[in-house]
Chain A
């Protein structure tokens, strides 16, 4: 390492860097080019179109749905699909929606509706809604798909958490698990059962009471499941200025304030309970867990959405299993919202895109999808028309949705809210002080939300 010419050159180098930097400043900012599209072909309403779809891998709209729609339109509407990993979908939307290559159709997670609508990414669908749709749809879906009085997505499916249990293990431990809403466990009861069923030392068991989470990034804290602990310790029927009421909503109605909503005494209590599932003598799960512990028969219980039913059937697991309604602390609650589709406000084919979204979210195609996948429908008419949904566990899932479903906290800054609250919950699970974590999340979120 003898010759090292950079030694004598760096000063001038830096000066030139600066000069070039200023020169290059003037270079940037050119506008993206437009790729031309052709229209005007006979027989197609509004001309043939190829819609660009941005989809989370393995999610909506499925290839089947797309080809069904192409057939339905006699080949007038075709699709060009880009798959991105679910965990990065929100990041990719923010990046792609501004590019010249912006998609026409988004298959996104519903709580982002307000965010995307406020940013002008999504197209309002009100002009295209079928008659009577608003009376048919689940109220929580309508709330979640709307922003500022307009509907931006109609929802195709609903998902709902429940407590899966390994009946072989719970039977052995002598535990009777409730399967109907009226007998829903409180979290205290549930934790005792988990503890009873667990094998090995708490914190490092051989069979978990509760399977380590598989949601979100596979670590504790996802809003979808874990914020429910906090909200469940609130009460929507309490006076509107009470902290119990605010705890239930976890954000102000306008979506701009979290102080006094997210860090209430009730929320702190709930977070302390949540922590006890991970730490201490009553720990029933683990922060870095064995993935798929429930499927492997190494966990008595697991919190998971409806999709696990398919996975369990497919894996042909060697144990009996069932579903129990999600436990609660004071108020039973489950989060609504699943992947849904919306049309881009920046699309060249706005009309075709909107029609596509409406067609998939209602009528025959919606019914067909529910029938094929047994995912919870968003339309009451579909639910009534399909006998498959009137038996366990689907019937219990649907009842949970109807009676206990609430959207995730509505805000135009959902991705920030979700990121920061998840971090706080994760730290709590890892053993940090619940109150200071929630306070810190509040102080971090407050400036972001007011922007």
Chain B
């Protein structure tokens, strides 16, 4: 296995469509059963029921959200009571909500702001965490253990507890209400470093030794030997940082004051609460717009997301 993450997260997680090993399944008759056909039917009914339940519980709310974003508020309420297939179908599709979001409510701006912050955070974290991970895995020096312990200690600090002092710190630097201030406190990510350290450690030391004999310095080894080997893990890393950044809420809510610097999550939260005269169609459309980029990314890159997300468990 060349990928270090796979040691903890088995292959099947990474390849969701791969058939599981073993031949027991709904297609093969269970051995030793007296009434194989009846049992098989019951089993099939049971399996189908659970599948439908999972779909109803996990996908139907999303479906309702996306569809309702394309309805007027009156249509949403008319279609929901009594409950029928109409609840989940946009009979008279309207893009008025989407238009209002982008033209009048500045959601386009908020999306751009969120994208900018995420890009800033991803790029800076990538530089900081890869270099630090290199130092901690490839260079032997005294105090390495202590430094790693210091870094890992920050794993235990809940960001939510630090919002008030962090705000004071950012104001002292005169950075409040800037997009940079949203990402800056989190770019030295202990989680990111932890993720990369495991990945770097899986690269055989022989590779660096060979490069060093050829006269390569640390930067050359870092750039031309290690990074190319771990590039798939770097994508997982990028996705994780992007996910955290895009979905962050409390800190952006506190540090950003002006409407023009608002991020998309804050914009969505504000369209539901404080004095915004919420309109269900509009709010649904906003929530859909804020979620769509991540869902699309997740659907296509699921196998790169999962190992990283499984690691957040360690945080």
A–B contact via C-beta, under 8 angstroms: yes
Chain A positions near chain B (C-beta within 8 angstroms): 1-6, 9-10, 12-14, 16-17, 20, 28-30, 32-33, 57, 82-88, 92, 95-96, 98-101, 214-218, 290-292, 296, 298
With both beta carbons as reference points, the residue of chain A lying nearest to B169 in the complex is identified as A28
Q: Does B177 contact A (CB under 8 A)?
A: yes
Q: Does B46 contact A (CB under 8 A)?
A: no
15 pairs of residues in contact across A and B, judged by CB atoms under 8 Å: A9-B148, A9-B149, A10-B152, A12-B146, A13-B153, A32-B172, A82-B257, A84-B257, A85-B270, A85-B274, A95-B171, A96-B176, A218-B273, A218-B277, A290-B77
Q: How far is the CB of B142 from chain A (nearest CB, A)?
A: 14
- Inter-chain pairs besides A82-B260, A83-B258, A85-B259, 13 sampled, C-beta below 8 Å: A5-B148, A10-B152, A10-B156, A13-B152, A17-B153, A95-B171, A100-B171, A218-B276, A290-B73, A291-B73, A291-B277, A291-B279, A292-B279
Q: How far is the CB of A111 from chain B (nearest CB, A)?
A: 15
- Known: A1-B8, A16-B149, A85-B275. Contact between A296 and B171, CB under 8 A? no
With both beta carbons as reference points, the residue of chain B lying nearest to A214 in the complex is identified as B277
- Known: A13-B150, A290-B77, A292-B73. Contact between A33 and B276, CB under 8 A? no
A-B pairs, 5 with minimum CB distance: A87-B274, A13-B153, A13-B149, A9-B149, A83-B259
| Chain B 170-214 interface 0/1 with A at a Cβ cutoff of 8 Å (1 = within) | 011010110000000000000000000010000000000000000
Does the CB pair A296–B277 fall under 8 Å? Answer: no
Q: How far is the CB of B201 from chain A (nearest CB, A)?
A: 8
A188 to B280, CA, bound (A): 32
Most chain A beta carbons < 10 A, residue from B153, B176, B270: B153
Q: Does B215 contact A (CB under 8 A)?
A: no
Partner of B152, one of A5, A29, A83: A5
Does the CB pair B259–A217 fall under 8 Å? Answer: no
Q: How far is the CB of B189 from chain A (nearest CB, A)?
A: 15
Q: Does B228 contact A (CB under 8 A)?
A: no
Q: Does B278 contact A (CB under 8 A)?
A: yes
- Known: A85-B270, A87-B276, A218-B275. Contact between A9 and B145, CB under 8 A? yes
Chain B positions near chain A (C-beta within 8 angstroms): 7-8, 73-74, 77, 145-146, 148-150, 152-156, 167-169, 171-172, 174, 176-177, 198, 257-260, 270, 273-280, 310, 313-314
A85 to B176, CA, bound (A): 17
Q: How far is the CB of A22 from chain B (nearest CB, A)?
A: 14
A216 to B273, CA, bound (A): 9
- Known: A86-B274, A291-B277. Contact between A99 and B171, CB under 8 A? yes
A332 to B15, CA, bound (A): 70
* A218 neighbours in B (Cβ, 8 Å): 273-278
- Known: A84-B258, A87-B270, A92-B257. Contact between A99 and B153, CB under 8 A? no
Does the CB pair B274–A32 fall under 8 Å? Answer: no
A12 to B238, CA, bound (A): 30
A95 to B176, CA, bound (A): 10
Partner of A83, one of B174, B260, B310: B260
A292 to B278, CA, bound (A): 8
Q: How far is the CB of A82 from chain B (nearest CB, A)?
A: 4
With both beta carbons as reference points, the residue of chain B lying nearest to A219 in the complex is identified as B273
- Known: A28-B172, A32-B174, A57-B259. Contact between A85 and B152, CB under 8 A? no
Does the CB pair A101–B174 fall under 8 Å? Answer: yes
Does the CB pair A2–B8 fall under 8 Å? Answer: yes
* A28 neighbours in B (Cβ, 8 Å): 168-169, 172
Q: How far is the CB of A355 from chain B (nearest CB, A)?
A: 25
Q: How far is the CB of B279 from chain A (nearest CB, A)?
A: 6
A97 to B315, CA, bound (A): 37
A16 to B145, CA, bound (A): 12
* A2 neighbours in B (Cβ, 8 Å): 7-8
Does the CB pair A291–B278 fall under 8 Å? Answer: yes
Partner of A88, one of B168, B260, B274: B274
With both beta carbons as reference points, the residue of chain A lying nearest to B283 in the complex is identified as A291
- Known: A16-B150, A100-B174. Contact between A292 and B277, CB under 8 A? yes
* A17 neighbours in B (Cβ, 8 Å): 150, 153-154
Q: How far is the CB of A3 from chain B (nearest CB, A)?
A: 7
With both beta carbons as reference points, the residue of chain A lying nearest to B150 in the complex is identified as A16
* A14 neighbours in B (Cβ, 8 Å): 153
With both beta carbons as reference points, the residue of chain B lying nearest to A92 in the complex is identified as B257
